[in-house]
Amino acid sequence: MTVDLEFHLKVTLVLVAAVLTLTSAFASIKRFLACRRFVRTHGCQPVSKSLNKDPFLGLDAIPWTIRAVLQHRILERTCERFRVYGNTFTVKELQRRAILTVEPENIKTILSVKFHDYGIKNRLKPFQPLLGKGIFDTDGDHWASSRALIRPSFTRDQVADLTTLEALIQDLFKLLPRDGKTIVDLQDLFFRYTIDSATEFLFGQSVGTLKKNHSDVEFAHAFHYAQRAVIIRGMLGPLKMFYPDRKADECNRICRDFAQQFVEEAFRAVAIQKQGQNNPKAELKQKKHIFSNELASRTTDKIRVQDELMNVLLAGRDTTASLLSNLFFSLTKNPAIWDKLRREVASLDGRAPTYDELRSLRYARCCMNESLRLHPVVPRNEREAVRDTVLPLGGGKDGLSPIFVPKGTLVGYNLYAMHRRTDFYGPDAEEFRPERWEDGNLQPHWEYLPFNGGPRICIGQQYALTEVGYVLVRMAQEFGVLESCDAGPWEESLTLTLCSRNGTKVCLTPA
């Protein structure tokens, strides 16, 4: 009896194993045939260059990456790789195959033409503890409704209000030494400037880090730590469970609680407004276009408003500060450009510019464009294919044929390298030369993407350029000499955004 049972059990197990193997083999064959059909239909050719010699796990690429990160040269080294391997190549990262590209046509396809074939699924997990679910870390319908909710808060009227920017400039000026010999790190102050302006714009009340000692401002401190924790969670992936970070949990709580009080206030203000009560405070805030109030007037979901506030704060704060820091780093190294900028700004006779005057200062705009070209603050990005799809370039020996992108493949696009392509920007592509943008000489499309493109294009572009332009112009009016106090070249500090590793150290002499 026992022997019989054992025998039956064994037979059943063998049968189950055989069925599973056959099913899996059948699925693999079906998949293989479907892929082959897809490849033929679209005329795809294999990508001829792969980074790895180890085709299984791609372990050979890991020491290179670690070395480049430790030397703070991952972007520079990646440019070299594109020069050696061509504009599109593949790389194996453990079990996963990724495609890296600096072809504008491919990037246009990912971000626009075949937008629905790609997603950012892997972003939500590391970002969610701080941001919840909002415009920056979701896909599909959730993202679309976030975008629809937020978009009306970025009309011309909202971004053209320069009152806050001027008040903060006065705070900034008070912290700048004027003896031409005391060294100050503008980068640190720009990060404070942008958190003050972002909190004013989003919450209707600035955290005021320029007014106080920075480290006294709990929210700013917690937000800084929480952002670093996002990067670590992103890098660790599933290994995150072995690295619990209590401080990050606490910082996430501080940030979200901080935003929540403004959400409550916004809903109160909207309720009062709806009841038509005469509340002067609510009326004043209404005039100021407070982002949280705008959202509260369009949804009843408080968590949603809190999440979107955190998303926009993260998307908008460090990016703008990084552009300011990189731009001023380049300006300190190029006194002739600073002088030329000051000559343009002299047309304002020392007055603070209006929004329209700001937009008419062409050389100032060239300087910002050039900084975003040379040091794009979001220097690399990626999307994951959510279905089998195709990219127009990168296949075959000449890299000019379409390539097959199987579902689940990561496609990374590197703006830092693309913005330095000499075939687009000339032999001096590595130089900071705002003149290349003068007289409409350069009108790139998908070869220049500091704010991304397609349906997910940066929603705060005008806001950011207004803010950076304003600081630039006011500084140029105030200071005749901007002397670099950093003997070395610009070095990368790559976190969520790209800024200068050694800050922006200057000595300032008033005009």
In the DSSP assignment, the letter for residue 279 is: -
Find the binding residues for ligand HEM in span 328-357 (CB under 6 A). Answer: none
Q: Which is nearer to ligand HEM, 92 or 123 (CB)?
A: 123
Task: Write the single-letter amino acid at 446.
Answer: W
CA dihedral 315, 318, 321, 324 (to 10 degrees): -70
The piece of 9-17, 313-321, 344-352, 395-403 that touches ligand HEM (CB under 6 A) is: 313-321
Cβ 84 to ligand HEM, closest distance in Å?
Answer: 26
Binding residue for ligand HEM, selected from 323, 345, 374, 496, defined by CB under 6 A: 323
Q: Which 205-264 positions form the footprint of ligand HEM (CB under 6 A)?
A: none
Closest separation in Å from C-beta 376 to ligand HEM: 7
Would you count residue 381 as binding ligand HEM (CB under 6 A)? yes
Is 458 flagged in the annotation as binding?
Answer: yes
Q: Which stretch binds ligand HEM (CB under 6 A): 58-66, 309-317, 331-339, 351-359?
A: 309-317
User: Could you give the 3-state DSSP secondary structure of residue 175?
Assistant: coil
Residue 378 CB, shortest distance to ligand HEM, in Å, is 4
8 Å CB contact between 94 and 60: no
Query: Do residues 186 and 506 make contact, with C-beta atoms less than 8 angstroms apart?
Result: yes
Residues binding ligand HEM: number (CB under 6 A): 21
Query: Residue from 85, 136, 425, 479 that binds ligand HEM (CB under 6 A)?
Result: 136
Spatial contact of 392 and 459, defined as CB atoms under 8 Å apart: no
CB of 503 to ligand HEM, least distance (A): 18
CB closer to ligand HEM, 39 vs 312 = 312
CB of 278 to ligand HEM, least distance (A): 31
What part of residues 405-464 is at the interface with ligand HEM (CB under 6 A)? 450-452, 456, 458-460, 463-464
Residue 279 and residue 360: Cα distance in Å, rounded? 39
Q: 439-442: which pairs have CB atoms within 8 A and are 24 or more residues apart? A: none
Nearer to ligand HEM, 393 or 458 (CB): 458
Query: Binding of ligand HEM at residue 147 (CB under 6 A)?
Result: yes
Q: Considering the rule CB under 6 A, would residue 312 count as an interface residue with ligand HEM?
A: yes
Cα 244 from Cα 390, distance rounded (Å): 39
Q: Which is nearer to ligand HEM, 263 or 508 (CB)?
A: 263
Closer to ligand HEM by Cβ: residue 89 or 291: 291
Closest to 365 measured CA to CA, from 453, 462, 449? 462
Least separation in angstroms between CB 463 and ligand HEM: 5
Residue 245 vs 492, nearer CB to ligand HEM: 492
Find, among 463, 428, 457, the residue nearest to 445 by Cα. Answer: 457
Give the nearest residue (CB) to ligand HEM: 460
C-alpha 363/C-alpha 160 separation (Å) is 20
With b for 16 or more beta-carbon neighbours within 10 A and e for fewer, the 414-448 pattern comes to bbbbbbbbeebbeeebeebbbebbeeeebeeebbb
Distances (CA, A) of 42 to 87, 119, 238, 392, 499: 20, 22, 35, 9, 41
Give the integer Cα–Cα distance in Å for 209 and 470: 19
DSSP 455: G
**Using the rule CB under 6 A, which residue among 44, 75, 135, 172 binds ligand HEM?**
135
Residue 328 or residue 404: which is nearer to ligand HEM going by CB?
Answer: 328
Q: 């400039």: which residue's tokens?
A: 169
CB of 55 to ligand HEM, least distance (A): 30
Indicate the annotated binding residues: 458
- Binding footprint of ligand HEM on the chain (CB under 6 A): 135-136, 147, 312, 315-316, 319-320, 323, 377-378, 381, 450-452, 456, 458-460, 463-464
Indicate the annotated binding residues for heme: 458
